[in-house]
Structures are given as structure tokens and as C-alpha cells.
């Protein structure tokens, strides 16, 4: 998918370029900056020393030296004291770093939560700025894979209102599931304790489980066999009268279309398919370009072309949900789209509950993936 949030060490991330938050002198004096300088070797320090001073929010590219990637994109992060200007400077860090990555032809970029470490920015503010700038950067259809690498999950903090809302919805869903299970158990108890037709009314009303009295079919037991019919018994025949009548009522041209659809090796689509519904909804939403949809769904152009070109395309569930979010479908429309792909939303699956809540609230794909990452769930997209 174009944008992912992952946990790990950015130095171990497989990518073409990494972003390094640094100071005006590119000194490698602390935090991630120091780790990158130590891993890259003394040649990086020598190149950085030749650059001189650079202003806050600026960015530039150096070689990676002993690192596994090709480039290091250094950006000068501001210190946080609570002023609005510092947040704008932090935005500049992301904008210029992303712009340089595109300028240098980077296809896979890894960047940290710039400013959330030694610079003192609140992690939730950094996360909001990072996702907004990455979303804006990818909105024009830019083909680049961007990895937001979180070293410590505790430092990853979506907005509190977002966390509070989904936590309350999960608790409400769990409570509803529990109450429903109690109702089901009471109904089952009533069913199995009720007298059955033809049974003596004095029979004990102990709870009986379905199939509980069947003989065991374990090792050493003989399965009961259906007795063979007598030799002179008439052969059983299939009753085809109703089918014949129905078949005869179908016009010949319709039968030819039906038969041509059922060909060996060809998947038959009996109703509007998943891809057909997606394309119909794109037209209904007034999107003039496919990129308006697939960028909002966090999937690649190549992946979307498969959906457009294959009427019988079968997506992963996370892809189907991502497209539902991009198309701003209602909850009922989302369930219909999932059904086209053979899926459903279940209140027994945490991912489904979170996505359901986010669809009801109208959150975008980036906000949803922040929550899914927080709950250690698969992200939506390709």
C-alpha cells in the first residue's frame, strides 16, 4: 500500500531513503540523528560538516555510506515550546523531505515521527501533521511507498478524541454481544427444556444437547449402514417434473446466454460483481479520475487497474474496506460491497468493530489506520 505505519527500527527498514531529523549543523549529536551517523560511518559526518548551517524546516540529501539504503534525507526539526509557528515549521520538514524524495526518484521512503523525540513535540500532534502531509503528498497520484516507522508503540498516539470514541464503541459492542449471548442461552435453555411432541409429559426436563445421544464414531466402532433395498424393489428416480416445467418456460435466447456463461475454466458472475459496484459508485460520486478513488483508498494504481479490468476480481477484505472508505459509503453500502466479495462485518472481530465505528463517524483511511495500528490490527489498503 502507498502509506503504511510500522513498528521497528528505521535503520533496519528496507527502503531507498530514510529521513533524518537533525539540527542546523547536521551534527548527529543526539537521538535518531546520532544513531544514523554512527551506523553510516565517519564519511557522513565529513559530508555534513562541509554543508554549513541550514535553517529550520529545510531539507537536503546526502549519500548513505554504510547504511543499507541509497540516500539520507536530512531535515532540520524545530524545538517545541508551544507556539503555532513551530508546528508550521514541522510541516515544512515533512513537505520538503517528501518533495526531495520525489525529486530524487525514491520509490520507497522511510521516515520517523519527526520532532516527537528529543525535540519535544507531543506525539499526537506530530502524528496528525505527518499523516496530513503524507495524505496531501499522495493525493495527486504520486507512485511512492511511504513507511512511517514508529520505534516505540507507546510514542504513537492518535488524537485523544479519536481514541476515546472508538474505545467507547468497542465497549458498547462487547456489552451488546454479551447481552445477546445471554438471550440466546435463555432461548436455548427454554427450547431444550420444553416437552417435545409425542413425548410423555412426565419426562424429566433436564437440558438436552443436540446430537448428544448419537453413538460415538471413534476408532473401533462400526458405523451404522443403510440397509440395502430388496432386489425386486423399484429403482429410485429423480422427480424432474417441476424442473422440466421451469426449464420449458425459459426463452431459448436466455438459455443460450446462461449456458455460454457456464464454461469450464471461466468464473461466472451471476449478479453485479465487486468491481462493477466499485466502478458504479465511482461514477455516482462524480470522480473524474481513478486516482481520486485509489489515493483515498491507500492502494496503488497498479492494484486498482486489476480491479477495473477484471469483472470477477476478488479482493482482500482490507482492500474492500479501504475502497468503501474512499467511496464514503454508508454502513449498509459497505456491507453490500463486502458481500459482493464474500465478506461481512462481524462484531466478534475487533478490526470490523473499529472500521464500523469509523465509517459511522466519517473518518478517512489515514485516521482509520492510525486506530488500527494502535490496536495492533491489519491496516486498510493494498
pLDDT of residue 231: 56
pLDDT of residue 76: 92
Ramachandran region, residue 115 (left: φ > 0; alpha: ψ -120 to 50; beta: rest): left
pLDDT of residue 272: 85
Decide: helix, strand or coil at residue 319: helix
Q: pTM score, two decimals?
A: 0.70
User: Strand pairing partners for 21?
Assistant: 75
Task: State how far the Cα of 182 lies from the Cα of 188, in Å rounded to an integer.
Answer: 10
pLDDT of residue 238: 47
pLDDT of residue 152: 75
Helices (H), ranges, 3-156: 31-40, 42-49, 84-103, 123-138
Decide: helix, strand or coil at residue 11: helix
Ordered domains of the chain (ranges, CATH): 3-157 (3.40.220.10), 159-185+251-382 (no CATH)
DSSP notation for 222-261 = PPP-PPPPPTTSPPP----HHHHHHHHTS-HHHHHHHHHH
DSSP notation for 126-174 = HHHHHHHHHHHHHTT----EEEEEES-GGG----HHHHHHHHHHHHHHH
User: Strand pairing partners for 6?
Assistant: 149
Task: State how far the Cα of 352 lies from the Cα of 135, in Å rounded to an integer.
Answer: 23
* Cell numbers given for 160: 485523544
Q: How far is CA 285 from CA 154, 318, 320, in A?
A: 39, 21, 17
Helix axes 274-285, 331-340, angle to 10 degrees: 150
pLDDT of residue 220: 42
Sheet holding 17-22, edge to edge: 3-7, 145-150, 108-111, 17-22, 71-76, 59-63
pLDDT of residue 155: 65
pLDDT of residue 223: 43
* Cell numbers given for 117: 523525540
pLDDT of residue 207: 43
One digit per residue, the tens of pLDDT, for the chain of length 382 reads: 689 999 899 999 999 999 999 988 888 887 899 999 999 999 999 998 888 888 999 999 999 999 999 999 999 999 998 888 999 999 999 999 999 999 999 999 999 999 888 888 888 889 889 999 999 999 888 889 999 998 877 667 777 878 888 888 888 888 887 788 777 777 767 766 666 554 455 444 444 444 344 344 344 444 445 455 555 555 544 444 554 554 455 555 555 554 554 444 555 556 789 999 999 999 998 888 888 899 999 999 999 999 999 988 999 999 999 999 999 999 999 999 999 999 999 999 999 999 999 999 999 999 999 999 989 999 998 7
Q: Is the dihedral of CA 123, 125, 130, 131 positive or negative?
A: positive
Decide: helix, strand or coil at residue 109: strand
Intra-chain end-to-end CA distance of the chain, in Å: 5
Amino acid at each position: 500500500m502507498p502509506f503504511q505505519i510500522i513498528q521497528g527500527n528505521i535503520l533496519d527498514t528496507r527502503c531507498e531513503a530514510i529521513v533524518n531529523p537533525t539540527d542546523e549543523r547536521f551534527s548527529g549529536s543526539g537521538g535518531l540523528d546520532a544513531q544514523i551517523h554512527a551506523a553510516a560511518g565517519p564519511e557522513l559526518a565529513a559530508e555534513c560538516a562541509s554543508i554549513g548551517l541550514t535553517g529550520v524546516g529545510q531539507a537536503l540529501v546526502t549519500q548513505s555510506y554504510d547504511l543499507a539504503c541509497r540516500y539520507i534525507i536530512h531535515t532540520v526539526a524545530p524545538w517545541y515550546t508551544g507556539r503555532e509557528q513551530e508546528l508550521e515549521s514541522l510541516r515544512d520538514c515533512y513537505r520538503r523531505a517528501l518533495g526531495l524524495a520525489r525529486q530524487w526518484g525514491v520509490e520507497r521512503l522511510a521516515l520517523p515521527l519527526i520532532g516527537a523525540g528529543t525535540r519535544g513535540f507531543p506525539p499526537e500532534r506530530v502524528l496528525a501533521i505527518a499523516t496530513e502531509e503524507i495524505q496531501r503528498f499522495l493525493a495527486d497520484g504520486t507512485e511512492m511507498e511511504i513507511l512511517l516507522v514508529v520505534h516505540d508503540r507507546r510514542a504513537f498516539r492518535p488524537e485523544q478524541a479519536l481514541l476515546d470514541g472508538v474505545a467507547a464503541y468497542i465497549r458498547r459492542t462487547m456489552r451488546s454481544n454479551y447481552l445477546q449471548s445471554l438471550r440466546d442461552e435463555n432461548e436455548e435453555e427454554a427450547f431444550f427444556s420444553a416437552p417435545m411432541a409425542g413425548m410423555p409429559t412426565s419426562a424429566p426436563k433436564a437440558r438436552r444437547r443436540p446430537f448428544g445421544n448419537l453413538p460415538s464414531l471413534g476408532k473401533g466402532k462400526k458405523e451404522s449402514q443403510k440397509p440395502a433395498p430388496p432386489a425386486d424393489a423399484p429403482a429410485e428416480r429423480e422427480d424432474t417434473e417441476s424442473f422440466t416445467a421451469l426449464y420449458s418456460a425459459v426463452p431459448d435466447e436466455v438459455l443460450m446466454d446462461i449456458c455460454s456463461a457456464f464454461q469450464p475454466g471461466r468464473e461466472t458472475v451471476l449478479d453485479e460483481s465487486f468491481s462493477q459496484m466499485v466502478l458504479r459508485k465511482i461514477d455516482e460520486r462524480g470522480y473524474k479520475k481513478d486516482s481520486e478513488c485509489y489515493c483515498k483508498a491507500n492502494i496503488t494504481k497498479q492494484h486498482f487497474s486489476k480491479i477495473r479490468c477484471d469483472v470477477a476480481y476478488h479482493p482482500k477484505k482490507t482492500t474492500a474496506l479501504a475502497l468503501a472508505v474512499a467511496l464514503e459509503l454508508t454502513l449498509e453500502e459497505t456491507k453490500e460491497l463486502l458481500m459482493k466479495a464474500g465478506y461481512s462485518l462481524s462484531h466478534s472481530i475487533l478490526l470490523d468493530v473499529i472500521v464500523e465505528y469509523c465509517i459511522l463517524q466519517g473518518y478517512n483511511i489515514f485516521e482509520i489506520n492510525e486506530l488500527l495500528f494502535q490496536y495492533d490490527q491489519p491496516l486498510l489498503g493494498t
